[in-house]
Structure 1
Amino acid sequence: MIRLIIDAYHMGSWNMACDLSIAKHVGKGVQPTTIRLYGWTLPTLSLGRFQKLEDIDFDFLKNNNIDIVRRPTGGRAVLHNNEITYLFSASTNHHLLPKNVIGSYKVIAEALIKSMEFLNIYCDIEKNKSKHLNTPACYDSPSIYEITIEKKKFIGSAQYRNDYYILQHGAIPNEFPLENYVNSFKLIEDKKIKLYNHLKNKVIDIKSILNKKISFEEMAEAFKFGFSQIFNEEIFIGELSNSEYELTKKLIEKFDIDKNP
C-alpha cells in the first residue's frame, strides 16, 4: 500500500525536514511507501544539496520576501511559488524500482505522467540529457527522464538515495514565477535577459495548458490514479505519525541557510 499525505503550506526548512523525516521512516520499514503533496508559506528558492551560494542575489530575495532553503537532494535552484510540490519516498529494496537513480527516476516519471493524464495534461519523458545555459537555475533545461510537454520543461524533480530509502521530490507549477526566478540570481544583465527569454520559451505550467490552476485535492486524485496504475498498489489517505512530526522538528536547522551571508 502507498500512503498519500495531502499536506498544507509550510516554511521551506519545515518542508525539507519533513521530506527527510518521512524518507527515514520509510527506510526503516516503519512507514509504507509515501507520497506527500504540499505548498510553501512564502515563495522559496531551494538550492541543491551542494549548490554554491555565490550566485544567489540575497538582496533581491530579502526585498521581495522570498525565503531560501537547502534541499536534501542535488541539482540546481528552484523557486517554489504557485505550485504543488510532491514527495515520493520508497525503500531502496522496492521490487519495482531499479537499484540506481536513473532507473528509479524513470519509473517514478511514468507514474507522474499517468497522474497528469488524469488531469488531461499529456506529457513526455525527456530521453536525453539536454545542454543547459550554465546558470544556477534548474529550469534552464530538462534532465533525463524529467517531464516535458512539447520539449518544454514541466515537472522538475530531484532524487537522493542511500542503502535504505529513495527520496524524490519535485515542483509541479500552476503558474511559473519567471521574473522572480531569473532575478534571484546574480547574473550580468545580458545573461539574465538570455535566461529570461530562454525560460519563457522552454518552460510550461498548468495554467498555460488548462487555463486554470489545479487544487491540492484535484492533484491528490490524479496521483491516486497515476501511482496506483504504475505501482499496482492501493493508495490510502494518511498523515504524519507523531514520530515523523517530532523528527521533522529536530531536522529543521539542517536545511536553514543564513539569509545574510
Structure 2
Amino acid sequence: MKYFETWDYPGSLNMAIDYVLGSFGESFLRFYTWKVPTLSLGVNQRPKNINFKFIKEIGYECVRRPTGGRAVLHFNELTYSIVIPKTHEYFKLSVLEFYKKISQIIVEGLNRLGFPAKLTERVQNGNTSACFDAPSWYEITLNGYKVVGSAQMRTKDFILQHGSIILETNNEIKYCFKDMKNDVVQYGLDQHMKIDIKKLKNTLFETFNNYFNLEKLNEIEKIIEKAETAKERFVCREN
C-alpha cells in the first residue's frame, strides 16, 4: 500500500485528492490536515441550514465530501483516508466489515498511546446535522464519546474511506448551522490527555504498517495535478 501525507491543504483540494486516488488502481493511505477550519457535508446532505454568513466572516471553508454521512468541522484533528482498489482482498468486504477492520487498526494505535478507545457495537441515533452527535456501528469512542468519525464511498473500481480523529474538544460546529443545538460538541482525545499530532501520526503509521506493509510515496505531483482539476466539484456554496 502506498503511503503519503499532506499538511494544511485547502478543503476542496483535500476532498479532490481522496476522490482521485481511486483512479490510480492502487491502494493508498494518507494522513492530512486542513489549511483553515473547514465544514464538510456528506455527499447527500442538504446545505439549506448552513450559516454561510458566519463561515465567510470567520474565514472557514465549506466543502462537500464524496462520501456520505453528516457534517464535520475539521478543526484540530488528524484526518486519514484509505483507498482500496477492486484487486485488493478487502474490496470484497461489506461496508460494515470494512469499517470494522479500519476502526480496529485505529483503536489499536490509540491504545498503544494510552487512550482507552473502544469500538461501538451499536447505533445511537443522532438528532442533528452533526456527525459527532452520536456514534454509529464500529466507530470509535473514548469515555463514551465519539472521537473518530468516518465515512465511505464505493464504486465498481474502488472503496474510499476517510475519517477525522479529533485532537481537541470543540463546539464551534454549532455556529455553522442556523438551527444547531447549543449542546452539540465534537469530543476529542484531549478529554483523556493531550497528544502531539506528529506522535499520533507516527504511531498510527506504525500500526497500519503492520497490516498493509506501507510504502512511502515521495512523488505526489501527478496526484495533486489530477486533484487540482477536480477540486471545484467539492466546494460547497450558498447558491
Aligned-partner SS, 2:55: helix
**What are the Cα deviations for residues 136-187 of structure 1, in whole angstroms up to 9, with x where unaligned?**
1111101111111132101001011111111111111111331x21111111
- In structure 1, distance between residues paired with 2:48 and 2:94: 31
* 2:174 maps to which of 179, 182, 193: 182
Structure 1, unmatched stretches of 5+, are none
The answer to whether structure 1 residue 214 and structure 2 residue 196 are counterparts is: yes
For 2:214, the equivalent position in structure 1 comes to: 235
Paired residues for 1:25-40 under 5 Å: 25=24, 28=25, 31=26, 33-40=27-34
* Contact 1:118 1:226 (C-alpha < 8 Å) held by counterparts: no
* Contact 2:170 2:187 (C-alpha < 8 Å) held by counterparts: no
For 2:110, the equivalent position in structure 1 comes to: 116
- In structure 2, distance between residues paired with 1:24 and 1:155: 26
Change (3 A) 1:122 1:98: farther
Change (3 A) 1:88 1:227: same
What letter is aligned with 2:192?
I
Change (3 A) 1:3 1:117: farther
Change (3 A) 1:153 1:166: same
**What are the Cα deviations for residues 111-151 of structure 1, in whole angstroms up to 9, with x where unaligned?**
11112123222211111111111x11111101111111132
Change (3 A) 1:239 1:22: farther
* Contact 2:91 2:159 (C-alpha < 8 Å) held by counterparts: no
State the 1:86 CA deviation.
Answer: 0.8
- In structure 1, distance between residues paired with 2:220 and 2:56: 34
State the 1:77 CA deviation.
Answer: 0.5
* Contact 1:48 1:73 (C-alpha < 8 Å) held by counterparts: yes
State the 1:47 CA deviation.
Answer: 0.4
Aligned-partner SS, 1:62: helix
- In structure 1, distance between residues paired with 2:5 and 2:221: 16
**What are the Cα deviations for residues 23-80 of structure 1, in whole angstroms up to 9, with x where unaligned?**
221xx2xx3x211111111110000001101121111111211110010000110000
For 2:11, the equivalent position in structure 1 comes to: 12
Change (3 A) 1:177 1:23: farther
What letter is aligned with 2:114?
N
- In structure 1, distance between residues paired with 2:216 and 2:116: 25
Q: Percent identity?
A: 31
- In structure 1, distance between residues paired with 2:205 and 2:91: 18
Structure 1 ranges of 4+ moved more than 4 A: none
- In structure 2, distance between residues paired with 1:64 and 1:245: 28
* 1:100 maps to which of 69, 94, 104: 94
Structure 2, unmatched stretches of 5+, are none
State the 1:219 CA deviation.
Answer: 2.6
What letter is aligned with 2:167?
N
Aligned-partner SS, 1:171: strand
- In structure 2, distance between residues paired with 1:184 and 1:240: 36
